[in-house]
Structure 1
Amino acid sequence: MKLRLPRSRGSQIYLLLLIGVFVGLVMVVSGPWRAGLMVVGATFVIASLARVVVSAEHVGMLRVRSKAFDIFWTTTLGISLCLLALLVPPGPAG
């Protein structure tokens, strides 16, 4: 069985972003939740940058809505997750 990668550049980037979110979520579940949230947040910021750079004919699965909406939403989500990881106070030691 031969593994086939997506053909469009945007779909290939999307696959890498899914892997990044998966790694971050595994980190959240396994213990270092702050680092995991930072990975997921950074992945969304990278997705917004990819949406800016990839041309319209190669955008593939990176396109959800309009370009402006996709960039705004993924940037907002990524920055919010990173801020959440940084600003939540640590729980009681024990």
Structure 2
Amino acid sequence: MTPAPPSSTKQPVAAPLKLDRLRAQWPLLLCLAFFVAGMAVTAAAHWRRGAVLMGAGLGLAGVLRLFLPPRLAGLLVVRRRWFDVLVGIVGGTTMCVLAILVPPLER
């Protein structure tokens, strides 16, 4: 008798852990951390500092999108690279400049 040929069925591949998927999104999480920190500072009655932090998070997203390849940029990849970079850097810079230039209310 001849032995039976080896089974050609493939072994199921284990799905990556949720933590690994989350770790792969570090650029987005870093930018969101800046934004959330800015919101917390704004809620603590320091709107100017909070707005600068939020603008810095948006600018950081643009810079990361500029330098990271698409496979590492994760969910920062929304449109074409030039558009993502333009929106991130110009939007972040505008937000920071406006937060600094708005005159304080006189009491």
TM-score, scaled to structure 2: 0.76
- Of structures 1 and 2, the one with the larger relative CO (CA 8 A, separation 6+) is 1
Q: CA offset at residue 42 of structure 1?
A: 1.0
Q: How many residues align?
A: 90
- The yes-or-no answer on 1:61 pairing with 2:81 is no
What is the distance in 1 between the residues matched to 2:73 and 2:60?
A: 14
Aligned to 1:35: 49
Q: CA offset at residue 29 of structure 1?
A: 1.8
Aligned to 2:40: 26
Q: Secondary structure at the match of 1:74?
A: helix
Q: CA offset at residue 58 of structure 1?
A: 1.9
Q: CA offset at residue 3 of structure 1?
A: 7.2
Q: CA offset at residue 75 of structure 1?
A: 0.9
Unaligned stretches of 5+ in structure 2? Answer: 1-16
What is the distance in 1 between the residues matched to 2:52 and 2:73?
A: 25
1:36-75 alpha-carbon deviations (Å, 9 max, x no partner): 0111111111111101111122221010111000000011
Q: AA paired with 2:81?
A: K
8 Å Cα contact 2:31-2:61 kept in structure 1: yes
Aligned to 2:65: 51
For the aligned residues, what is the CA RMSD?
1.7
Percent of residue pairs identical: 29
**Whose Rg is larger?**
2
8 Å Cα contact 2:56-2:96 kept in structure 1: yes
Q: Secondary structure at the match of 2:95?
A: helix
- Structure with greater proportional helix content: 1
